[in-house]
A = this chain, B = another copy of it.
Amino acid sequence: MSATPLRVPVEGLAEGAATLPDDAARYVTRVHRLGPGARFVAFDPARAVEADVEVVSSDRRATRVITGPLRPASVRATQGLTLVQAIGKGDKLDEVVRDATELGATRVVPVLAARSIARPTDGDARSRRWRRIAIEAARQSGRGDAPEIEVPTSVADAIGRFATGRGVVAVCLDPTSAVPLGRVLARLAAADEAVVVVGPEGGLDDEELQAADRAGVARVSLGAFVLRTETVCAAVLGAILVARGAGEGDR
Which residues of A line the B interface, CB within 8 A? 1-2, 75, 98-99, 102-104, 140-143, 175-182, 185, 202-203, 220-228, 231, 234-239, 241-248, 250-251
Contacts and interface: CB of A to CB of B under 8 A. Distances in A.
A247 B220 contact: yes
A102 B182 contact: no
A44 to B, nearest CB: 18
A85 to B, nearest CB: 15
Contacts of A227: 102-103, 141
Given A98-B231, A182-B247, 9 more contacts: A99-B231, A178-B247, A180-B248, A222-B246, A223-B247, A231-B238, A234-B238, A235-B235, A239-B239
26 contacts: A1-B175, A75-B225, A98-B228, A99-B231, A99-B234, A102-B231, A103-B227, A103-B235, A140-B226, A141-B226, A143-B225, A179-B247, A180-B242, A181-B246, A185-B242, A220-B247, A221-B247, A223-B250, A224-B251, A234-B234, A234-B238, A235-B237, A235-B241, A235-B242, A236-B238, A238-B239
A202 B1 contact: yes
Nearest to A4: B226
Nearest to A228: B102
A8 to B, nearest CB: 16
Contacts of A225: 75, 102-104, 141-143, 246
A43 to B, nearest CB: 14
Given A177-B247, A220-B247, A225-B103, A182 B242 contact: yes
Copy tally for this chain in the complex stands at 2
Contacts of A228: 98, 102, 140
Smallest CB-CB A-B distances: 5 pairs: A235-B238, A223-B246, A180-B247, A234-B234, A221-B247
A239 B103 CA distance: 12
A25 B97 CA distance: 39
Contacts of A102: 225-228, 231
Contacts of A143: 225
Contacts of A176: 251
Contacts of A185: 242
Given A182-B246, A234-B231, A142 B239 contact: no
Contacts of A239: 235, 238-239, 241-243
